[in-house]
Structure 1
């Protein structure tokens, strides 16, 4: 960061350190290392949050990322939505488990006028929406600060900085705990095997263990203590409170025994306990980092330097995030497109990174180019159509994260179970202590050890991670296979689908029909092609391609499922243009007022993988049905080629929606696959829906899944992954419940030591996450 120097360790801030971030001051600097820190310090003081500096890490680079250099005012980062609400996206430092996510979401949801708060454990991303002024963002951030979480406007670079800082803190604490526990274990072994050891020598070894153990407990446990203290101040106890109580109680009890020369101490257990807990947290982070790799890889595609062409003919290298819509960018041979744009010349691009297509695609001049693709041909220029934050890569990343953090049925069950953890487990621990000490007349040390075991062995992490971990892994695995999940409960619903309802044009067929020349009047063809440019319907696009010199007509209105209208001129289905129904759906009719109608006929080609995809769906137990708006001739031919016995022709948008509703009333769970505007209503009404590559924006918006690759081959694979994910989610919930059912009684009965409790608790979370990683396989 600008103006940063050598960092100072937390708690070591002196007169030579920045009063805000803790960096050492350069000669001539007074109190602050930069103007950004000075402004941030003044704002925090003005808000009455001086205690902020007592809870936040002061290591340079961890207190505030680059986005915060101008101060702490987050109001400008709030986005005003179409309905007038405000939305703010933040990166949150300090999210360690599902309980933390629940705490953040519940604290924000309790605020007046806050409509929703959704935190992603995998991406550390928090999205908050509220009614009111954008300045409310600062109040919400202040609440998170009181809970002990550090936030900043979300960006990929900021996320990586936060991840690095948290990872370093945990790794450092783990190193201290492991080193201390190993040394204390040497002392403890000497006490255990010293059969002829006198009380004086044993007392001396206990003091040696205390001199090593107490600093280790106090320093290595800071990640837990800070989180627990912040939760107490906010009045919302967290899981880390139970861990902190268990570790500190064990250490203080051991210190008491050392002072009074008791026969036993548990410094070895307390330090090893911390080492195991920290190791579990480090490994858990590593597993989740692998699970969220899809989002990270996607966002990395838009980072880098681009060459912007200036009006005077010069060029300049700028970061991709600084490019704006309308800029002209030079794309060199072999260079990756960091931004969406429109080609000024033909281009050959490899889009495998985002669509999974193995073969490069050719793009004509004027065609839209996808960000993330690699230029496989000669250098060309393009005009940027969207800034990085508004482009297709950012949109896909948001959809992935929305699917990862969305709360389906299983997630809701796990959330409800995890939220009762803190009060229940503390009550069970208190009862355990009271029974052992007051009823069974055991020494208070024994009663306390058993209560500590209850605190440590009952952890909601495994239950809280049981389903979100599976969801993160599954969404990432589907994305790598070219399937973008856009809905909260899509995987759950996809796993239970029992019938596939398929559109024809653009779904089973390539959707690129070709006009069959039949001696039409060239002037009529040109007028019809000019109107056709206003539509994305495959037949209209084919007509436009057949007459490329025809300019686009103004004032054209599209009527979904029927055709185009411009004054007295109509272009669309035979019925829309006043003729009788056509047996061949590959037909457009152009009628200009009272003139004789002109009929255009087209031919379309079946997708190569369509029959195999239909067969694979049938093997998965899904019946197939073809539902198309085309004529009987074209529909029956495609149904025969694809191996679909049931088909319906001449279906308009209302008919398609009604058919889906009828299937659902009959107890079926239809998977609707369509690509056009006329399919949108049916897609939205289906049990679950998908749209293929090249579908209209409306169809993709209404779909739960978007197939990024050409063809339907990814759809059967998506169903297999969804079914596997639901099975693993059930397994994880079962493992978590069984673990607690068996572990808690053992701890209450005094059959578990604190060390064993920590090992079992840490391993339960790791087992759940590792089991979730299996969801990536088909």
Structure 2
């Protein structure tokens, strides 16, 4: 039960007067506070938040998800005041409010629109100011001082409102950092823009020869391109745990003590409640089967590839689908304690781990900020001592800030990510997070789920010349059922009629008449009326009056492209294994077909996640590929994750990239594009370093004019953009 607490939102009305009070969720003696934190952008922010909160006496665990901005704090101390969490975050410069997934997504969409508007305004203004600046440069030596000053005033009239509007994302971020005694990448950006604008106004008032209005607006324009691309990718990042919670937030029919049926939310169920699960309905919680028998599909939960028969008293897990008639079950676990609840916890841990991944851009920004500040300060001091004049010292310091602008640095990763996302889209794959490419490219070991990932979900009937007649007869019964196995039989058989008087027997099979002869299709015991073991191993048996029972064997079909994928992995020294919840015999068969030596069957969702952790401890960077609820925890725990388009929502949202192609070679294409993109990102940062090695000495020498600054900024941005277009198109040949 959620309980409302008095909190720091009330304590500081000036900052949070319109905020909704956060809720503290109580579970036994444990309390949990979930907040949406604003302003955290990199691994350094995450580390700072977690470190400071862990130092608060009474807190047990702190989990921050950088992608979603969600912070979860747990404690058991009844004396702990949750106000302190919000107050501490405020002091660090990261305002917080109650976590609401819908509001977070709306906020991200609003930020994206805001950045797009700022970028459009800056781009339009930069084009117009550049026209005026070109006129000034072209008329050097011929244009009168009055005309040049007028041009500068017109440029300023355009630039200053644009700087105030388009520069807000950088100014607010820089101020938040400085307010708490910290610096970030937006501090030198803001300094460069404000100082260049202020110096330009000063020069214009004093009829100076140069102004930096054009450079300041162009700087904002190029940086806003990078911010917008980054925001677009960030908003595409899915929230696995929240989507899994949505999977639990379903309604179900509960039978009351008076026999009436009531529709209730799954979160309101109690232990022992009796539920009626309709045909095709998915179990929302773990239950015990009350009905005599049931045909169920557990492929998305346990990885079992074939539908199975369950009997009274058996435990059925959340996510299981009822295939046949309505069944009666008893609630065996609430939402939080069910299999879905356990997987949700695995997802949360995995998301926290991924949030700590530091991209190349984060590492570069850490070096960039102190280096640029130091260079600008040294330039100011050196020129002031050397000339004794303030004006050339300020001019040179601003030149250093402007010409070392992080345009190329800011565009280096986002522009490659957008190009790579386009290449992936052409290959029927969809990127979901900004840092996914780097993590996918770094992976050196792959864990494959089997059912639905390497193999088709629909079983295939093994046929021979001898079994063809049996199959065609069995199909006459199968045409009267929508069971997945029945559909597989009909698909494999030749066209034909439907049997008469078809009846479906729960958990057993089908009966009917074929040309006046009694016939049955189902398990051995029911078809043969024998308690002896079957003469051979078969999934299905068919009997028609006058003939002995005949076996029908079902198998899995390997998806196309499997051998091409394995050739690619071997050529790139990427090891692979299969980890499935299906029967070991079936797992081994698929592993043999693909030439994989390492495989395991009958594993649980927790086993899969533990296997990922075990390999990570050995130094492996694991790429997990799966499609089921039982894969979600491992997908979130892995260094990177892929999911096929037909995967369960929880699996898709826990992954970094979703591919919709039925061909397994699409996985190889994703890997190839990711590795190519990683190479382009590194090259772009190298080009940015080379650019600064050339530009900085020129700026320190005082030789930078607004024309040189504008050309340098444009040139560096164009170079990294053109280089990004070299991302591989994903062909495996």
Q: TM-score, with normalisation over the residues of structure 2?
A: 0.58
Tell me, which stretches of 5 or more residues in structure 2 are unaligned? 460-505, 509-536, 538-550, 648-661
Distance 1:473 1:337, change over 3 A: farther
1:408–1:258 distance in 2 versus 1, CA, 3 Å: closer
Q: Describe the SS at the equivalent of 1:149.
A: coil
Q: CA deviation at 1:430?
A: 2.5
Q: d(CA) in 2 for partners of 1:323 and 1:348?
A: 24
SS in 2 for 1:288: helix
Aligned residue for 2:47? 105
CA contact (8 A) 1:326 1:383 kept: yes
Which residue number corresponds to residue 261 of structure 1? Answer: 207
Contact (CA 8 Å) 2:673, 2:727: kept in 1 or not? no
What corresponds to 1:224 in structure 2?
A: 170
Taking the aligned partners of 1:384 and 1:769, their CA distance within structure 2 comes to 54
Larger deviation, residues 700-709 vs 220-229? 700-709
Distance 1:434 1:380, change over 3 A: farther
Task: Give matches, 1:134-283, under 5 Å.
Answer: 135=80, 137-178=82-123, 180-181=125-126, 184=129, 188=133, 191=136, 198-283=144-229
Q: Aligned to 1:456, what secondary structure does the other structure show?
A: coil
TM-aligned CA distance change 1:775 to 1:110, over 3 Å: farther
Q: Where do 1:151-550 residues align within 5 Å?
A: 151-178=96-123, 180-181=125-126, 184=129, 188=133, 191=136, 198-290=144-236, 292-293=237-238, 295=240, 298=243, 302=247, 306=251, 311=256, 339-340=284-285, 368=316, 406=353, 411=358, 416-434=363-381, 443-444=392-393, 446-457=395-406, 461=410, 495-496=444-445
Contact between 1:470 and 1:729, CA under 8 Å: does it hold in 2? no
TM-fit CA distance, 1:282: 1.7
1:43 aligns with 2:7: no
> For residues 632-653 of structure 1, what are the alpha-carbon distances to aligned partners after superposition, in whole Å with 9 as ceiling and x for unaligned?
xx9899679935899xxxxxxx
CA distance in 1 between counterparts of 2:275 and 2:218 reads 57
Separation in structure 2 between the aligned mates of residue 469 and residue 767 of structure 1, nearest angstrom: 13
Alignment of 1:658-677 (within 5 A): 672-676=599-603
Structure 2: distance between partners of 1:477 and 1:675: 36
Residue 624 of structure 1 contacts residue 644 of structure 1 at CA under 8 Å; is this kept in 2? no
- The SS at the match of 1:406 is helix
Residue 244 of structure 1: how far off its partner (Å) = 0.6
Decide whether the 8 Å contact of 2:8 with 2:87 is kept in 1: no
Distance 1:184 1:403, change over 3 A: same
For the 8 Å contact 1:180–1:213, the answer to whether it is kept is yes
Kindly provide the CA deviation profile for residues 456-478 of structure 1, in whole angstroms up to 9, marking residues without a partner as x.
23776567879999999999999
Question: Secondary structure of the equivalent of 1:676?
Answer: coil
Distance 1:745 1:707, change over 3 A: closer
1:746 matched residue in structure 2: 695
Deviations 1:517-567 (A, max 9, x none): xxxxxxxxxxxxxxxxxxxxxxxxxxxxxx989xxxxxxxxxxxxxxxxxx
Distance 2:722 2:352 in 1: 21
The answer to whether residue 592 in structure 2 is matched with residue 642 in structure 1 is yes
Distance in 1, matches of 2:105 and 2:732, equals: 27
Q: Deviations over 1:131-176 (max 9, x none)?
A: 9678465433333323433323434213213213423443444455
Following superposition, the deviation at residue 249 of structure 1 comes to 0.5
Residue equivalent to 2:685: 736
Note the C-alpha offset of 1:263: 2.6
Per-residue CA distance 1:68-110 (angstroms, 9 max, x = gap): x3x2465x489988xxxx8755433334x43xx4224224325
Task: Judge conservation of contact 1:503–1:627 (CA < 8 Å) in 2.
Answer: yes
Distance in 2 between residues matched to 1:293 and 1:769, nearest whole Å: 25
CA contact (8 A) 2:361 2:409 kept: no
SS for the counterpart of 1:91 is strand
With over 3 angstroms needed to count, the CA separation of the structure-2 counterparts of 1:168 and 1:333, relative to structure 1, is farther
Matched position secondary structure for 2:209: coil
Q: Secondary structure at the match of 1:620?
A: helix
Higher relative contact order (CA 8 A, sep 6+): 2
**TM-score, L = length of structure 1:** 0.56
Contact 2:283 2:320 in 1 (8 A): yes
Q: Distance in 2 between matches of 1:122 and 1:772?
A: 25
Deviation, 1:252, is 0.3
Q: 1:141 to 1:758 in 2, by over 3 A?
A: farther
Q: Report if the CA contact (8 A) 2:416-2:724 is conserved.
A: no
Displacement of 1:241: 0.6
> Structure 1: how far apart are the matches of 2:350 and 2:731?
15
| Cα drift, residue 248 of structure 1 | 0.2
Q: 1:453 to 1:695 in 2, by over 3 A?
A: closer
Structure 2 CA distance for partners of 1:139 and 1:703, relative to 1, 3 Å: closer
Write the distance in 2 (CA, Å) between the matches of 1:38 and 1:638: 58
Secondary structure, in 3 states, of the residue corresponding to 1:261? coil
Alpha-carbon RMSD across the aligned residues, in angstroms, is: 6.8
Are the equivalent residues in 1 in contact too, given 2:578–2:600 (CA < 8 A)?
A: no
Alpha-carbon separation, structure 1, partners of 2:688 and 2:11: 47
Instruction: Identify if the C-alpha distance between structure 1 residues 690 and 172 changes in structure 2 by more than 3 Å, giving closer, same or farther.
Output: closer
Distance 1:197 1:313, change over 3 A: farther
Contact residue 372 and residue 393 of structure 1 kept, 8 A: no
Partner residue, 2:498:
none
Secondary structure of the residue aligned to 2:405 is helix
Q: CA deviation at 1:270?
A: 2.0
| CA–CA distance in structure 1, aligned partners of residues 372 and 698 of structure 2 | 15
Between the aligned partners of 2:731 and 2:78, the Cα distance in structure 1 is 42
Structure 1 residue corresponding to 2:39, chosen from 94, 112, 129: 94
- Structure 1 distance, partners of 2:127, 2:29, is 55
Does structure 2 retain, via aligned residues, the 8 Å contact 1:270–1:755?
A: no
CA distance in 1, matches of 2:689, 2:260: 67
Q: Does the 8 Å CA contact 1:348/1:363 hold for their aligned counterparts? A: yes
1:737 to partner: Cα distance: 3.4
Residues 223 and 411 of structure 2 are in contact (CA less than 8 Å); yes or no, is this contact kept in structure 1? no
Contact 2:409 2:688 in 1 (8 A): no
Contact 1:306/1:320 (CA < 8 Å) preserved in 2? yes
